[in-house]
Amino acid sequence: MMNVDKDKCIGCGLCVKDCFVRDIELIDGKAKINNMTCFKCGHCIAICPKGAVYTDEYSMEDVEEYNKEEFEIDADNLLNFIKFRRTIRQFKNKDVETEKLSKIIEAGRFTQTGSNSQNVSYIVVREGIDKLKEIALESLNGLGENILSNLNPQMMPFKRYAQMWVNMYKNYKLNPNGKEQLFFNAPAIVLVVSDSPVNAALASSNMELMTNALGLGTFFSGFFVRAAQGNKKIMDYLELGEGKEIVTCMVIGYPDVKYSRTTPRKIAEISWK
């Protein structure tokens, strides 16, 4: 529940004004949270000038007081940071520290979710990455062979990928420890899981920014996500129940490549109304 410390509350009404679901009222000059329509967004905790609002459902240790020097980012620096990010497919033979992976997940945990559902979870794979790779490549090989044996005008756009998947599996069988094009020999992957693709995608975007800020590199493996779709063997290996979907697969490691500049993009298509 969301609660108010009556001794600290000064009855300013800021929490009442900012409550989207109108679950807070002032009674005898003190805020009262009814906990009827509240979805625990925490705005009341964040806006209270006296720190009078708290919850007994989440850890209040997560709450940090605003400090301009530590909280604000220069807009131009942020834009350059986003422009400079690159998809990394060359990784050093170096493990990623648990502390850094945890911080990446923290960036996802504090990303907004629709109706504050907080319905995004994470699977970190390190020790089991070789086994997961094997299962995924088997799945992609089966998908590729099926496409190539049933080529028609509708399937032709997928022919290139089908051939890639079959070749990836053949190369893996010839040399299981060689270079591969699924996880690119990275030391860790983080799977972002949810029943809401939007919420998981939003979390993944912030997680990528944190990955780069930590001096790491990542790319989103769409091949793995495709391999996992409807694949019971992968779902069982990851112990994922029904209704859970792997939305993104973040392949993470220390970059073994250095870039010197940003790259151009198409001009944004914008309609001003």
pLDDT tens across 61-105, in order?
999 999 999 999 999 999 999 999 999 999 999 999 999 999 999
Q: Is residue 91 part of a domain?
A: yes
Mean pLDDT, residues 167-187 taken together: 95
Res 112: pLDDT: 97
Looking at the fold, whether 20 and 152 belong to one and the same domain comes out as no
| CA dist 58 → 1, 3, 39, 116, 195 (Å) | 9, 12, 13, 13, 22
Looking at the fold, whether 157 and 24 belong to one and the same domain comes out as no
Q: Is residue 27 part of a domain?
A: yes
> 40, 62, 84: which is the final residue of a domain?
62
Q: Residue 85: which residues within 8 A CB-CB, separation 6 or more?
A: 208, 209, 212
Res 153: pLDDT: 85
Looking at the fold, whether 126 and 249 belong to one and the same domain comes out as yes
Tally of domains within the chain: 2
Q: Is residue 243 part of a domain?
A: yes
Identify the band that residue 155 occupies on the pLDDT scale cut at 50, 70 and 90.
confident
Mean pLDDT, residues 156-185 taken together: 95
Q: Which of 234, 240, 239 is nearest to 221 (CA)?
A: 234
> Which structural domain range is residue 123 located in?
73-273
Looking at the fold, whether 88 and 52 belong to one and the same domain comes out as no
CA torsion 216→190→56→14, rounded to 10°?
60
Looking at the fold, whether 107 and 204 belong to one and the same domain comes out as yes
Mean pLDDT, residues 157-177 taken together: 95
**Has residue 243 got a pLDDT over 90?**
no
Looking at the fold, whether 18 and 121 belong to one and the same domain comes out as no
CATH number at residue 97: 3.40.109.10
Q: What is the DSSP string of 148-176?
A: HHT--TTTGGGHHHHHHHHHHHHHHHH-T
Q: Which of 170, 161, 216 is nearest to 189 (CA)?
A: 216
Looking at the fold, whether 34 and 139 belong to one and the same domain comes out as no
Determine the Cα–Cα distance for residues 49 and 11; give it in Å rounded to an integer. 10
Looking at the fold, whether 80 and 41 belong to one and the same domain comes out as no
pLDDT tens across 181-192, in order?
999 999 999 999
Looking at the fold, whether 41 and 77 belong to one and the same domain comes out as no
Looking at the fold, whether 155 and 26 belong to one and the same domain comes out as no
The CB-based long-range contact list for 127-133 (8 Å cut-off, 24+ gap) reads 128/237, 129/183, 129/187, 129/188, 129/189, 130/176, 131/237, 132/189, 132/234, 132/237, 132/238, 133/172, 133/180, 133/182, 133/183
Res 92: pLDDT: 97
Q: Is residue 68 part of a domain?
A: no
pLDDT tens across 1-46, in order?
999 999 999 999 999 999 999 999 999 999 999 999 999 999 999 9
**Has residue 152 got a pLDDT over 90?**
no
**Has residue 241 got a pLDDT over 90?**
no
Q: Is residue 77 part of a domain?
A: yes
CATH number at residue 24: 3.30.70.20
pLDDT tens across 102-149, in order?
999 999 999 999 999 999 999 999 999 999 999 999 999 999 999 999
Q: Is residue 183 part of a domain?
A: yes
